[in-house]
Structure 1
Amino acid sequence: MSAVTAEKNNSLWSDARHRLMRNRAALISLIVLTVIIFCCLVLPLLGFLHDPNAQALPDKNLAPSGAHWFGTDNLGRDIFARVVYGGRISIAVGLITTLVSVTIGVCYGAISGYVSGRTDAIMMRIVDILYALPFLIIVILLGKTIEPATAKLTDTVVGWFTSADASVESINATRAWIEPITTLVPLFVAIGALSWLTVSRIVRAQVQGVAKQEFVEAARSLGLGNFRILFRHILPNTLGPIIVYTTLTIPSVMLFEATLSFLGMGVKPPYASWGNLINEGANLMLSNIWLLFFPTLLFSATLFALNFLGDGLRDALDPRSAKD
């Protein structure tokens, strides 16, 4: 019986993969995302990019050329290098923050949906109260509260990647790629700790539906504990909606980070994310349109690709589409 069930489960996931591959918009979006992520993560390691923070005033406000593919800004910094390094930060914000929020939301919603009754009602009223809070203000206040700990965190992480006898140049080089991420830890925690509300409701509804099925009753009759039933048998059957929601959450988190950076409350100069690059470009668009055009292009392409991929995953994992 278990072999038949495993074969059926494999065929369902196989059918979903085939449906996703037939969705041209989702497939193209996946390719675009792969190229953008590859460029942002790998190109800085190859060593041929300009220093994104190096200023060269004689070369300021240059148009795109062979020496500077995306031109330079008003301080002579290479826009291509800043867009690539900024993309690394924006993507990291989207992935890490989404992971935090989905983890909290899945656990909270699964427990609420499984226990039901008065406990479920209390847990959902808490969610309703949190929904009523001003999200942007709470994120800013929470981020400012835990921000003083980031300097100590940066020193700790730098120590992990450098030896005791490392040179000052080596330590500074390591700090240059670690510090932009660690300074955003308050942002990761603040957004992730407050953006799990919707996913908790989605998981709760899914768990309540799956918990009524016969295999759950069979698991209870075998004497399995509630924890094992919930996390080993019920949650795996709700992965489809969770995956879709995760894919659609990443662009919304990246957009929120861009909003905070645009307002000057995200990535701190001289480091860059797509959000504060767009902010700089908006301020200087009359004299240097390239400073606005290229970060906006990459950011928009990433958001569109993530949304189209999320739509494709939703269609592929929808059981009703298996009849097509």
Structure 2
Amino acid sequence: MISPRTLRNLKKELSHSVLAKAGIVVVVFMVAMAIFAPLVAPYSPGQQNLDQAREPPLGFTTKETKEVTKTENGSVVIENGQVVTENQTVYNNATLAHPLGTDGNGRDILSRVIYGARTSMLVGLLGTALAALIGVTVGLSAGYYRGRVDDALMRTADIMLAFPSLILAVALVGVWGQAAFRIPDPFVATGFTEWWRGLVGLSAGPMPGDIVLPGTVIVVVALVNWVWFARVSRGEALSVREEEYVKAAKALGANDSRVLGRHVLPNAITPILVLATVQVAAIILLESALSFLGLSGASVSWGFDIALGRQYQSTSWWISAIPGIAIVLTVIGLNLVGDWLRDALDPGIDGEGGV
């Protein structure tokens, strides 16, 4: 449980920091989008309409030159047995039906950004949880037992740090493949989505019935990032193991697992919690990079959509830019929340985020 003192520190830092409030709003908004995607997305993320391809976002108009069939008095002009064509300037105007525009296949970008939040948040949260489980176990063991155990575990961590994260992740995905698991979406499976969308007037088209979980990517990002948790938790364990209450527990006959679980871990949780918040942001960036390279296994992801928009950069910038903006906002929001937690949970550090 959170102690009253910790709650007071959290509230105090939050009341003094506008940036912390903004970060919480962004994170809560992104998480809510991910959870309630079938209920708030205007369309299914895979629904195509080629007649509405590359519509710009609201407030923008684009023009392009297209080759069209030449007609005179309503008849097609034919010369030397061939249909005559001519260049024509076509204007694409924004519509309320697609407030953030459409991609090259006419899919609604707002819907894809909403569903992309589900993929990124799942990978970020589950990948961080798995990385923390591995790293904290390794770090606490190394710091508590020291000696040969410490040397063996931390030299392994040093070897992991020698490899660039993205390159190591790409190599691991290449070895294990792109395993993706499908979990039934509870909103769709229970029929609540159809009822809700009819109630609020959203499109009645079928929504994806499954939540795609990129299993390989979650494991890979955890294996790439566990080292940071190991280093932080080891340092805390080295300090806490010398405290009098730990020595007293051991003198009373408590075994190592009990000492680690009841005394060392609770007193080392503050920096681990702050690190976890920052690592969620780092893992979202790594997942986006893997998706951009086509290695995620998920067809709806912010990084994947950025890659799809590369060929339209000169004419339809929003296809790549809007998912990129979603990534930037999410990462900034998580970092601001991490700064808030750091300032509130570690009184020895002067806050720098207050405005």
Superposition TM-score, scaled by structure 1 size: 0.84
Larger Rg: 2
Letter of the structure 1 residue corresponding to residue 123 of structure 2: V
Partner of 2:281: 251
SS at match of 1:265: coil
**Kept in 2: contact 1:63–1:290 (CA 8 A):** yes
Instruction: Compute the displacement of 1:194 (Å).
Output: 2.5
- Change in CA separation of 1:213 and 1:17 when aligned onto 2, cut-off 3 Å: farther
**Kept in 2: contact 1:109–1:203 (CA 8 A):** yes
Partner of 2:97: 67
**Aligned positions of 1:182-197 closer than 5 A:** 184-197=214-227
**Kept in 1: contact 2:113–2:323 (CA 8 A):** yes
User: Does residue 298 of the first structure (1) align with residue 323 of the second (2)?
Assistant: no
**Kept in 2: contact 1:43–1:49 (CA 8 A):** no
Instruction: Compute the displacement of 1:13 (Å).
Output: 4.2
Stretches of structure 2 lacking an aligned partner (at least 5 in a row): 58-94, 190-205
Instruction: Compute the displacement of 1:158 (Å).
Output: 5.5
Letter of the structure 1 residue corresponding to residue 117 of structure 2: G
**Aligned positions of 1:13-28 closer than 5 A:** 13-28=7-22
Runs of 4 or more off by more than 6 Å in structure 1? 159-163
Q: CA-atom RMSD, angstroms? A: 2.7
Partner of 1:105: 135
Partner of 2:84: none
Partner of 1:30: 24
- Alpha-carbon distance in 1 for matches of 2:307, 2:178: 25
Larger helix percent: 1
Letter of the structure 2 residue corresponding to residue 206 of structure 1: E
SS at match of 1:320: coil
**Aligned positions of 1:54-133 closer than 5 A:** 54-64=47-57, 65-133=95-163
**1:202-235 C-alpha deviation (Å, 9 max, x unpaired):** 1000111011111111111211111101111111
SS at match of 1:120: helix
Letter of the structure 2 residue corresponding to residue 313 of structure 1: L
Instruction: Compute the displacement of 1:264 (Å).
Output: 2.0
**Kept in 1: contact 2:249–2:259 (CA 8 A):** yes
SS at match of 1:266: coil
1:288 to 302, 316, 335: 316
Partner of 1:169: none
**Kept in 2: contact 1:59–1:76 (CA 8 A):** yes
Partner of 1:309: 337
Letter of the structure 1 residue corresponding to residue 289 of structure 2: T
Larger strand percent: 2
**Kept in 1: contact 2:302–2:323 (CA 8 A):** yes
User: Does residue 274 of the first structure (1) align with residue 302 of the second (2)?
Assistant: yes
User: Does residue 218 of the first structure (1) align with residue 248 of the second (2)?
Assistant: yes
- Alpha-carbon distance in 1 for matches of 2:317, 2:55: 11
- Alpha-carbon distance in 1 for matches of 2:133, 2:126: 11
Letter of the structure 1 residue corresponding to residue 133 of structure 2: T
**Aligned positions of 1:101-180 closer than 5 A:** 101-147=131-177, 150=180, 153-154=181-182, 157=183, 176-178=209-211, 180=212
How many percent identity over aligned positions? Answer: 33
Stretches of structure 1 lacking an aligned partner (at least 5 in a row): 1-5, 164-172
Instruction: Compute the displacement of 1:174 (Å).
Output: 8.9
